[in-house]
Amino acid sequence: MKISDFISKKSVALNVHPSDKHEAIDMLIDLLMTAGAVKDKEVVRRDVLKREAQGSTGLSNGLATPHAQDSAIKKTSVSLITVPEGVEFDSIDGKPARLIVLFAAPMQSRDEEMTEMGRLAVILMDNDFKESLIKAQTVEEILKLIDAKEEERAKAEQPEVSENSKIIAVTACPTGISSSFMAREALKNCAAKLGMNVRVEVHGAAGVYHALTEEEIKNADAVIIAASKKVPISRFDGKLMLTTAVGTAMNKPEQLFDRLKAGQGQIFHATEDDEPFTSKLYKKIKSIFS
């Protein structure tokens, strides 16, 4: 399975001219309807706009990644439009969006499918690659560029376990389709530029990716929680912790490392409320039969 498997030729439109953000979103959903991936446009539209209300998916340098996960989506799919002259998308840098990619997934999606969605989100962060997509003249060229980039990245990927990381992190977003993966990539790239190493666990729509090991947590000095939904944190008891929204890690990662360096985190002391429900249930059952 590869990223392009989720992109129908019918779900890509090049050099389009939406008048505003809402029309761009409508275009993307219409493309998915044409490709047979959506059974109720209004439900998907409502879900996309709900996510936008939580924080715009208009990122920097002309990229926007709206997304939705609901029962009106029949299969995990991607639609894509290029808008060379740009369209206002409430982007964090105030610039218009020129490449807009809609990530869509049904309520129950296979782990492998969501992994591919995450990979697409990550490669879109490569500015040169993004620009090549915007300049593409045919749908076939778009698909070839994505295949080539995915293959290039697969060859460069390194093993995820690193017991020597002094900084670890957890990323999570409400839908868990793209933002949490992009936040992970931003943290890793920023750490590399600063001559540091960070291990990042991702909470996505289908579960946990790149899970931190007990040994990694034990050896770490600090943890960054970049999450816009609740994640289990009791395992980080006694660690220097910095908490923020997933968007901050995605868009301003260096700020987080600077804050840690300045000693702005706090030592975290776990309480029962920080423990995952499954752990609480296990302890309760154990107490009954002990």
Residues taking part in catalysis: 173
Give yes or no for a contact between 185 and 120, defined as CB atoms under 8 angstroms apart. Answer: no
